[in-house]
Amino acid sequence: MSAFRSHGRGHLNGPVMVIGTGLLGASIGLGLRGRGVPVFLSDPSPTNQAVAVDIGAGQPWTSWGTGRPSLWWWQHRRT
């Protein structure tokens, strides 16, 4: 059982910007979206971003409106 399910959404109301939508970034997006937090996604790989959007981890950052996100998540990729 998740702590969020038993204790509500918490203090993060969003929106959240996730940069890097590989396994970790997409999982964070899914978890936040499951708790009702708006999530926007960005990835240098169009394929990774498209998969994350398709599975429901968030919306593409291009649909971002105005204002600033409550939280940024950046997944550094090693080259």
32 phi, psi to nearest 5 deg: -65, -45
- Per-residue pLDDT 10s for the chain (79 aa) are 444 455 555 677 778 889 999 999 999 999 999 989 999 999 999 999 999 999 999 999 886 666 666 666 666 555 5
Q: State the residue range of the domain holding 49.
A: 13-74
Note whether 42 and 21 are within 8 A (CB): yes
Q: Does the residue 20 lie in any domain?
A: yes
CATH code for position 19: 3.40.50.720
Evaluate whether 70 touches 12 at the Cβ level (below 8 Å).
yes
Within a domain: residue 67? yes
Q: Report residue 67: phi and psi, to 5°.
A: 95, 180
As a whole number of angstroms, the distance between CA 17 and CA 51 comes to 16
**Residue at 39 is within a domain:** yes
Domains: count for the chain: 1
Per-residue pLDDT, 76: 59
Query: Is residue 56 included in any domain, yes or no?
Result: yes
Asked if residue 5 is part of any domain, the answer here is: no
Q: Is 70 helix (H, G, I), strand (E, B) or coil?
A: coil
pTM metric for this prediction: 0.72
53 domain-assigned: yes
